[in-house]
Structure 1
Amino acid sequence: MFVVFLLVLVGLNIWMTQRVLDAGPTLDHKGLLVAAIWLVPLMGVLMVRSHLRNRAPLIDSEMPPPPPAEPAPATVAPAGHSALALDTCLRDANGWPVFDWGVVGDWLAGFSDEAQRERARVECQRAWLMHLRDALGPYATLHETDDAFVLSTLDPGMAKATSDFVARSSHRIAKVLGPLAAPRTGHKSILVVFDDEADYYPYTAAYDASEGESAFSGGMFIDAGCPHFVTCRADLSRIEPVIVHELTHAALSHLKLPLWLDEGIAVNTEHRLTGMQRSEHTPQQMHRLHQGFWGEAEIQQFWSGESFRRPDDGNKLSYDLARIIVEQLGKDWAAFSDFVVRAERSDAGAEAARYTMDIDLGALVCALLERAPSDAWSPRMASGQPRPATAFDHQMTST
């Protein structure tokens, strides 16, 4: 009997290993999955099988497209109000349809009733997303709930799970941030999931006014007329930290924070709510990398926000330094909350830190890096203002 059981177990392991190897390039961490199959008898097979079933596969080119969707509208016409002709606000940006939300805002200003105005705003968002859906191709669908829009090529079950996660995350973020978070006013969160970087980067470039080479971005919150966040397609477990990170930006966007502070809060909230803090380096190695990278010029890039856009190690080190600073300052939550509310982009929050916590930000960084204090490390913003906060890049923790 034992021999039969052993043969069945080996057969299951071989079968599941072959499934992992045949899964193609869209499946991450194949080596770890195969190791789990053989190192954890039976349970490993069950865990990997569940992972494969829940994974969002890339579209099969031979798969028939979904049934025809409702056509994208040419107008938005709420009852009892003049219609908005979408050709007056629809623009082309790198091949993608975007709205001129200034035109939309002028039209919405004509509503005297706040509730009607909000319903009309959602109708405009829905109309824009339907045009964007058509541009994404025949497999794209727009999934809508009371709390969120999810535009993607995800299968219906995955799209629903993603929208449910968006709703739960929004409420959890509001609890974590407390009064720092913008109050929810009935607006729907909007998530656009692109299939690959070939679509993602041209779209985000339409909202990114910066020049030159951009750092790797796994997700972005875009606060330009219609706040929404975008990411590349992945299975839900990889999308989760991106969603939490970008929703945190959305919750804080009304404060117009310095970039380092905004990112530091977002990374810490992401880690707290998703538990994902994977890194290719140990904390000791990261500390040595920080010590070797930051100098007087580099730290001024950090305060201005420029270092977050570097295509080298300065990118990930900027996010990590922001995380560390916020983690330290946040230990006194009452004082930290006061600091966040008062922080100004124009001086990277320097005056607010001195006023609320009697801390010099430059001296704090010097202490963290175990170097002698220097006035040259304090924010000096006269020669370089932070870039406009229309988009916030996110270095994914899983890459």
Structure 2
Amino acid sequence: MALPWLESVPVWGDDKPKNSASEAPVRFAALFSGNGFHSKEWWARGEGKQLELGKVLDPLKPHREKLLFLRGLYNQEALIGGIHSCQTGNLLTGAHLAPDGEIRSGISCDQVIAEKTKGATKVPSLVLGTEPSIAAIHKNYSMIYSSHISWSSATTPTPLELYPALAFDRLFRDEVGRADKSVLDAVREDATSYKNKVSTADRRRLDEYLSSVREVEQRIEQAGKGGRLQGWRPTLDKPDMKRPPDGIPQDIDQHMRLMCDILVLAFRTDTTRVCTLKLNNDHSSLRFPHLKVDYMIHHLLSHTDGADWLKVNQFFTEQVAYIARKLDAVQEGERTLLDNSMILFCSSMMTGNHNNDQLPVVMVGRGGGRIKTGRVLDYLGKPNRKMCSLYLALMEKAGVRLNEFGDSKEPLAEI
């Protein structure tokens, strides 16, 4: 585990107060809610403290000044096929989806960021969910598309972790593998074998070299204990929650909350900087007895557009608000962890009627101070309103600069 970030301890080699080496990294999370939202209650107007939100977004009111409401964005490739599967499988990729049961999308933006930050954290990315994948065909498209938003390659959805305990273990279990050993220990076997093949003088040189490596390692270790390691350090060096029980929680509210806690903990400890949380499948069968809405599954409920549908929508938004509240309570220098994050909340259709000519999209967090929030950005009717243009802009905030992604070659300039 990394050492905690200490505001009062000077960082060795960091002469300037705002040197980028001492700034907290930008984290990215995408939270997905299937089947869209209430047709009359997803809206925003105004700005700053006066930003007004529709009832679906009511739980996010305390964070309105750190919120960005994006209207009119869409995914061109999702208009080509039918409903559900081919609306969701390319949500974060913008890629063309293969029909006829074949599995082919594209690499998703979260995995592009994860590849860029690989090696900087213990876990490149965390991919969480609360509902298992569906192995079926719907409207000529595999329902694997309905079950995944994160893709490691064009043909491979990133494995979805449904078990809170296993997600916790992946982040914090301390099994020592080859990559976790010291440099000297990792190469000892090879070095010993090599020493038998060289001259006496070379063996002496090799011994001197290995001794120097050990000395460097010891100096690094002591520098860490003295709080002088160069660069930013997280505020938390070990989990502050117990390992969740084995198995999948039977109550969906507890399941979602555990996954939210794990996301927050992963960001606080800098164990990963990239996470997707699929709160449910696009063609979801979840029920909500804790809301007294257990007479109909989520997918069918989405077609009612009534009071219970709004209640369920708000429950999903509450998960985003919970994450935002927890992140905003963590101070990282001059900013909070929420300020240093980009939390995307969206669905693959506007309402339960499958309309996706524009998508419901909200961002919470300021991307390390690089995103001006407390605004409504309306792209409806504008030439560049692609979701992939949004991803290009967000990836740039995370340090990943691409000329194109998915179907876009132009980031949203206003982000």
TM-score (norm 2): 0.21
Bigger relative contact order (CA 8 A; separation at least 6):
2
- Give the helix-richer structure, 1 or 2: 1
TM-score (norm 1): 0.21
